[in-house]
Chain A
């Protein structure tokens, strides 16, 4: 492991990176010239409205960054350039292509594959890049010499993600599910007075949040009102792999469930956990909530399928699928059985359902990390640095590539 050191010589500033290369900066790079950061718009489905909020952008300038936002940035949330600019001399509009050339480029969801060639030689991309599940993206980034920090890989010393919104994944998904019932059952109090029964499959980070969200009807205010009116509440059954593989026990649980939730992280994503035929045992009114949102990728070897077989893959444009709806089969490869259906709630980007609160959350988590990135850069981040620096080091593409294979698991 290389030693990081700073050397000052004849108007130049050098930093020796962990790879033992010497990185040279003009003094004015570190002193006079500001470190720049670009914010491109996410070009995803129309329902994807998320942008970093004006308050976060202002805080970037307080740290010292020179900020460039893509023209039109924020419009999806009814923010306009003036909301960001607000007489701040360190905030500027810029064309998309130029945004990718800044020292840092911060965008929540990954740029598209054809955009990696737009990056500047010394630009560093900060985004949700999901290294383990996107080998193709890794390859393209490697080919384009992209310096990348993946937001989902920023981990503390205990392997806990520092930039995550698992809570929103679970709460938003369950909120939508219960809202479907509330359309015809006011306050979610049924005539027979029985409690709601929810089956959560998977006990990882999302599963843990799902148990709490399910027990509180997906929204605390709704739950409080339900309690105030004497509602019977919710019984949440949670199972891991050791039950999910036993058909008899799972079917017994299915027959009594109003909602089933997939929050699994499978070792083998080419096999479903719930075969389509088990869906037939769910009551007709039951709802399937897909929080794992593994996509169908028939082109990969082996092909990846959803944990619950035969359900559609949703997005921010459509996340509620009626069992007889027209779009059911649009996202499902023909080889997948879809005979047994119940209403499905699925969204690739669950936190994006409430875009403003999601970005407030991410902004808060990112702020201390951006302070470190202002003082350091991709090459000079150290695994022996302070708390946030160590976390950032772990998220570098180089750090991932050099990690031992058994440490690369999701």
Chain B
């Protein structure tokens, strides 16, 4: 796919037909950038409605937008959609077209195979990285802050006497699994209770703060050390990025050592999967997977019965888990992704599409090159 000056590139922006709580769409300002780069833009009818944006919010800023059906949006040269669409939607892609989405090649081998079978190329947003390996399209900040905000809300209800808001309580103990980029954001959010107003209020009232104890996952081979930590933990957070996702970091039986009031916060959101005889598990075994419709689970939530049978689920605690943490505040989220994606789209469109991208070329070309399905080995 490389267009000449006379042929305009077409870009489709379909809606994400996922859980009801998924409201995100790219904002009009970002869509205008695509149009300014001389692309013809096709939005699915009702694009933005879930965020309170009528079609007119888009058509008023530029005349070169066409509203089409979802199927038609998928039939364009480039299709941009934040979360990976369902297989049914993906089947609408034209061979030779380019899908841009959070595709997570490393943890989704089935998806990689499927996209290849469709003859499409893709740019995985989570793989667009600069020369030093830093992700250019990410919202770790929102993952950490939104997750911690929810976890502390739950802890306020479960914390034993003298109570969460008491100046006489001990500092909140957070045990953090994983110390990568997401873990780093988590430390900052955690010591501020995931909420600046709450942080300021408790500091004013001289309530003891938060101590984060971070452990890399190699230390979890030492059960005695981990069980000692777990027994003193108020919030257990998983931000790990495991190389081997068939092995949990915290086996379910260890959850028995957590105090009853403890909250488990799942920021890694690795899925439970069975692929070709292998069982893939979450970092903390036996906790449910949440989404934007439900991300808070009490120990007696019926969802535990739906966890795949190969997973041990005997020990429960309050769990906070969401597949799409940034989506909790959809507009804030898209105000981050839009500007991050803008120079990438400018580069892609100025080069006439994917075939004009030189993976050894300029800064943003190199970043795109690292995210191409055609360059993915696996």
| A17 within 8 Å of B (CB atoms) | no
Q: Which of A158, A234, A242 contacts B199 (CB 8 A)?
A: A242
A212 touching B209 by the CB < 8 A rule? no
Alpha-carbon distance A387/B132, docked complex (angstroms): 18
A236 touching B363 by the CB < 8 A rule? no
Q: Which B residues have a C-beta under 8 Å from some C-beta of A? A: 131-132, 171, 179-180, 183-185, 187-188, 191-192, 199, 202-203, 208-216, 218-219, 222, 225, 229, 336, 339, 342-343, 346, 362-363
B192: A residues at CB distance < 8 A: 240
Q: Would A243 and B211 be within 8 Å (CB), given that A211-B187, A367-B363 are in contact?
A: yes
| A157 within 8 Å of B (CB atoms) | yes
A211 touching B222 by the CB < 8 A rule? no
> In angstroms, how far is the closest chain B Cβ from the Cβ of A171?
12
B210 touching A242 by the CB < 8 A rule? yes
B187: A residues at CB distance < 8 A: 203, 207-208, 211, 238
A234 touching B219 by the CB < 8 A rule? yes
A195: B residues at CB distance < 8 A: 219, 222, 225
Which bucket holds chain A's interface residue count?
35 or more
**CB closest residue in chain B, given A203:** B188
| A386 within 8 Å of B (CB atoms) | yes
Alpha-carbon distance A266/B372, docked complex (angstroms): 43
A387 touching B214 by the CB < 8 A rule? no
A367: B residues at CB distance < 8 A: 363
| A358 within 8 Å of B (CB atoms) | no
Alpha-carbon distance A238/B132, docked complex (angstroms): 26
Alpha-carbon distance A361/B346, docked complex (angstroms): 26
Report, nearest first, the 6 A-B pairs whose CB atoms are least far apart: A242-B209, A208-B184, A240-B191, A233-B219, A212-B179, A368-B363
Apart from A195-B225, A212-B184: 13 A-B pairs, beta carbons within 8 A: A158-B336, A208-B188, A211-B179, A216-B179, A233-B215, A233-B225, A242-B191, A246-B171, A253-B211, A364-B132, A365-B132, A367-B363, A388-B363
A127: B residues at CB distance < 8 A: none
B210 touching A236 by the CB < 8 A rule? no
B211 touching A227 by the CB < 8 A rule? no
> Chain A interface mostly helix, strand, loop or mixed?
helix
**CB closest residue in chain A, given B219:** A233
| A78 within 8 Å of B (CB atoms) | no
B210 touching A227 by the CB < 8 A rule? no
**CB closest residue in chain B, given A198:** B214
**CB closest residue in chain B, given A204:** B188
| 16 pairs, A vs B, C-beta closer than 8 Å | A195-B222, A208-B184, A211-B179, A212-B179, A215-B215, A223-B218, A232-B225, A233-B215, A235-B225, A236-B179, A236-B215, A238-B211, A239-B212, A240-B192, A240-B210, A243-B191
| A249 within 8 Å of B (CB atoms) | yes
**Mask: chain A, 191-220; 1 = CB below 8 Å from B; 0 = not:** 000010000000110011101100110000
Alpha-carbon distance A235/B232, docked complex (angstroms): 14
Alpha-carbon distance A235/B175, docked complex (angstroms): 10
A253: B residues at CB distance < 8 A: 211
**CB closest residue in chain A, given B363:** A368
Alpha-carbon distance A158/B215, docked complex (angstroms): 29
B225: A residues at CB distance < 8 A: 195, 232-233, 235
Alpha-carbon distance A237/B94, docked complex (angstroms): 52
Q: Which of B188, B208, B218, B229 contacts A227 (CB 8 A)?
A: B218
A232 touching B222 by the CB < 8 A rule? yes
Q: Which of A203, A204, A233, A240 contacts B216 (CB 8 A)?
A: A233
**CB closest residue in chain A, given B362:** A368
A204: B residues at CB distance < 8 A: 188
A386 touching B346 by the CB < 8 A rule? yes
Alpha-carbon distance A387/B362, docked complex (angstroms): 13
Q: Which of B132, B214, B342 contacts A215 (CB 8 A)?
A: B214
> In angstroms, how far is the closest chain B Cβ from the Cβ of A240?
4
Alpha-carbon distance A207/B363, docked complex (angstroms): 28
> In angstroms, how far is the closest chain B Cβ from the Cβ of A259?
14
Q: Which of B171, B203, B219 contacts A249 (CB 8 A)?
A: B171
B209 touching A240 by the CB < 8 A rule? yes
B209 touching A209 by the CB < 8 A rule? no
A365: B residues at CB distance < 8 A: 132
A207: B residues at CB distance < 8 A: 187-188
**CB closest residue in chain A, given B199:** A242
**CB closest residue in chain B, given A388:** B363
A215 touching B199 by the CB < 8 A rule? no
Greatest chain A CB density within 10 A among B171, B183, B218 is at B218
